[in-house]
Each structure stands twice: as structure tokens, then as C-alpha cells.
């Protein structure tokens, strides 16, 4: 079974530029998550999709971050404009069930973003 | 609300000696608990999970963890460390799928 795919793996941009990350979850997984992992910290949930609808985006800085999952499969996360404090690894994860009680997540390798 | 505290930011052991990574949790409801491992430049990999079945949970690569409700702990252990175990380990508490709280992580170093 193929795992969660993410691209690019690394990205370096200057502050105030925009950037987009892509995630393709495991086939058939209904739920998709984006996490932000700042160096030295555990991952923090940014947004959760169930199929193509948003379940939770309470931790997403909506003034600069946006995410979509239009067809209920792959997803993009965008930052515009980027700030220095956005430097982090952005992890995508997917979960095979759509019931909130089932909570095993499978993670992709992440995208390491450096904002200069 | 739930939270998790990993008591050690860094643990160093010698190859062949036991590993103990400590995790305490706080939750208003019966939680699910997980340990994930993250090798450099790799995705998070699930080691084991507790979901209200047996309190002693066995995972991959010889790791196990014991859920102790009275102590609100979920410590990760392995009898004998291997060089390949060197990585970052995260304890996670969850009540629902969209509310997984990660600890800050414990970096495990294994000395030859």
C-alpha cells in the first residue's frame, strides 16, 4: 500500500512570498490532516478535512493560511504571505475512517519550509 | 481538554541497555494513547496504541507501553536498545480523531 505523498520535500522562500504544499493521502482514506511542526516541538493540527469538507480549522491562521481538498482526495495548503515564524515542517496525514471515534493517522514525510 | 507531557526532552542509552521514555497525560474522558517515532527526514510512524483494551500494549520493533490510569502515565519501554532506535519519539493523547495532542518529543540517542 502506498503511503501518504507530499511535495515538495523542501522549500526555501523569502518573507512575504507565497508558497503551496501538496498532499496525496492513502487511497480510500476519507480524512486528511495538515500539521505544523516547529523545530523542537510536537506537531500541531492546522486543519482537518473529512472528504472535501472542513471538520476543524480552529488552529489555522486564516489571515495567511488556506487549504482545500476540492475532490475529496488530494489537498493543498497555501501560505500567503509567509512570515519568518512559518519556518517549520508541514506534515500531512490521513485516516481510513470517517467516524470520529477511529483515530489512527498515517503521516507523510513532510515538507520542510524555510522562510528567510 | 487533554494534554500530554513528555518528561524528558533527551534520553541517552548504550546499545543493548533498556530504554524508558516517560509520558504523562491529562484527559477528561477515556483517552486513546499513542507513541509515534520520527526518524530524520522521515514521516511519523506509529509504534503502538492504547484504545481501552489491554493495558500492556506491544508495538513494533520490540517496544511496549503500559497504560496506568492511577498514575496517568503511558511510558514507552524496550528491553534492549539498538542503534536503529535513535530517533525522536512522540507521545500522543486523543479523545476524538480531530483532537490529537502531541507531546514535545523525546530525542533518543543510542551510544555504541
- Residue A101 above 50 pLDDT? no
A53-57, A77-81, B30-34: range with highest mean pLDDT: A77-81
Domain range spanning residue A81? 5-98+105-110
What is the distance in angstroms between the Cα of B94 and the nearest Cα belonging to chain A?
Answer: 8
Q: For chain A, how many structural domains are there in total?
A: 1
Contact criterion met (CB < 8 Å) for B100 and A103: yes
CB of A105 less than 8 A from some CB of B: yes
CB of B50 less than 8 A from some CB of A: no
Chain segment A63-81, per-residue pLDDT in tens: 999 999 988 899 999 999 9
A55: which chain B residues are within 8 Å (Cβ-Cβ)?
98
- Residue B108 above 80 pLDDT? yes
What is the distance in angstroms between the Cα of A62 and the nearest Cα belonging to chain B?
Answer: 18
pLDDT at A69: 93
Q: Within 13 Å and on the Cβ side, how many CA atoms surround B3?
A: 3
Q: Comparing A72 with B78, which gets the higher pLDDT?
A: B78
- With respect to residue A90, please indicate whether it lies within any of the assigned structural domains: yes
Average the pLDDT over A6-16 and give the result: 96
Which residue among B41, B97, B105 sits closest to A42, beta carbon to beta carbon? Answer: B105
- With respect to residue A16, please indicate whether it lies within any of the assigned structural domains: yes
Place of cell 539498538: B82
Question: Alpha-carbon distance B41 to B84, whole Å?
Answer: 14
CB B69 within 8 A of CB B53: no
Nearest to B36 by CA among B109, B102, B80, B86: B102
Q: Comparing B95 with A116, which gets the higher pLDDT?
A: A116
Q: E-strand spans in chain A?
A: 5-7, 10-13, 19-24, 31-37, 44-50, 53-56, 65-68, 75-79, 88-95, 106-107, 111-115
What mean pLDDT, rounded, does chain B reach? 91
A104: which chain B residues are within 8 Å (Cβ-Cβ)?
34, 46, 49
CB A16 within 8 A of CB A82: yes
- Residue B102 above 70 pLDDT? yes
Average the pLDDT over A101-108 and give the result: 74
- Residue B64 above 80 pLDDT? yes
Contact criterion met (CB < 8 Å) for B90 and A43: yes
Q: Within 13 Å and on the Cβ side, how many CA atoms surround A75?
A: 32
- With respect to residue A42, please indicate whether it lies within any of the assigned structural domains: yes
- With respect to residue A46, please indicate whether it lies within any of the assigned structural domains: yes
The interface residues of chain A toward chain B in range 44-73, judged by CB-CB distance below 8 A, are 44-45, 48, 55-56
Cell representation of residue B79: 528491553
Chain segment B67-76, per-residue pLDDT in tens: 999 999 999 9
- With respect to residue A115, please indicate whether it lies within any of the assigned structural domains: no
pLDDT at B30: 81
Length of chain B: 112
Three-state SS annotation for B57-86: EECHHHCEEEEECCCCEEEEEECCCCHHHC
- With respect to residue A116, please indicate whether it lies within any of the assigned structural domains: no
What is the distance in angstroms between the Cα of B103 and the nearest Cα belonging to chain A?
Answer: 6
- Residue B79 above 80 pLDDT? yes
pLDDT at A19: 97
Structural domains in chain B plus CATH codes: 3-111 (2.60.40.10)
CATH number for A31: 2.60.40.10
Contact criterion met (CB < 8 Å) for B105 and A41: yes
Question: No. of H helices and E strands in chain B?
Answer: 0, 12
What mean pLDDT, rounded, does chain A reach? 90
C-beta contacts of A78-82 below 8 A and 24+ residues apart: A78/A18, A78/A19, A78/A20, A78/A21, A79/A18, A79/A19, A79/A20, A79/A113, A80/A18, A80/A19, A81/A15, A81/A16, A81/A17, A81/A18, A82/A13, A82/A14, A82/A15, A82/A16, A82/A17, A82/A18, A82/A19, A82/A113, A82/A115
pLDDT at A102: 53
pLDDT at A100: 46
What is the distance in angstroms between the Cα of B18 and the nearest Cα belonging to chain A?
Answer: 24
Residue of B nearest to A109 (CA): B43
Amino acid at each position: 500500500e502506498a503511503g501518504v505523498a507530499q511535495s515538495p520535500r523542501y522549500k526555501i522562500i523569502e518573507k512575504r512570498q507565497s508558497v503551496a504544499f501538496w498532499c496525496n493521502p492513502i487511497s480510500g482514506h476519507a480524512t486528511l490532516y495538515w500539521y505544523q511542526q516547529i523545530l523542537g516541538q510536537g506537531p500541531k493540527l492546522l486543519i482537518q478535512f473529512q472528504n472535501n469538507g472542513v471538520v476543524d480549522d480552529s488552529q489555522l491562521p486564516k489571515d495567511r493560511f488556506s487549504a482545500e481538498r476540492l475532490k475529496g482526495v488530494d489537498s493543498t495548503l497555501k501560505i500567503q504571505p509567509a512570515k519568518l515564524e512559518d519556518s517549520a515542517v508541514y506534515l500531512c496525514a490521513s485516516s481510513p475512517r470517517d467516524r470520529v471515534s477511529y483515530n489512527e493517522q498515517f503521516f507523510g514525510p513532510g515538507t520542510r519550509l524555510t522562510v528567510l | 481538554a487533554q494534554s500530554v507531557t513528555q518528561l524528558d526532552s533527551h534520553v541517552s542509552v548504550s546499545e543493548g541497555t533498556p530504554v524508558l521514555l516517560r509520558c504523562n497525560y491529562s484527559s477528561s474522558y477515556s483517552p486513546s494513547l499513542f507513541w509515534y517515532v520520527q526518524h530524520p527526514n522521515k514521516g511519523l510512524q506509529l509504534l503502538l496504541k492504547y484504545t481501552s483494551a489491554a493495558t500492556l500494549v506491544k508495538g513494533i520493533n520490540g517496544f511496549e507501553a503500559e497504560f496506568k490510569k492511577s498514575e496517568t502515565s503511558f511510558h514507552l519501554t524496550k528491553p534492549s536498545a539498538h542503534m536503529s532506535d535513535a530517533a525522536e519519539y512522540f507521545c500522543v493523547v486523543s479523545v476524538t480523531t480531530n483532537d490529537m495532542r502531541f507531546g514535545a518529543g523525546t530525542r533518543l540517542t543510542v551510544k555504541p
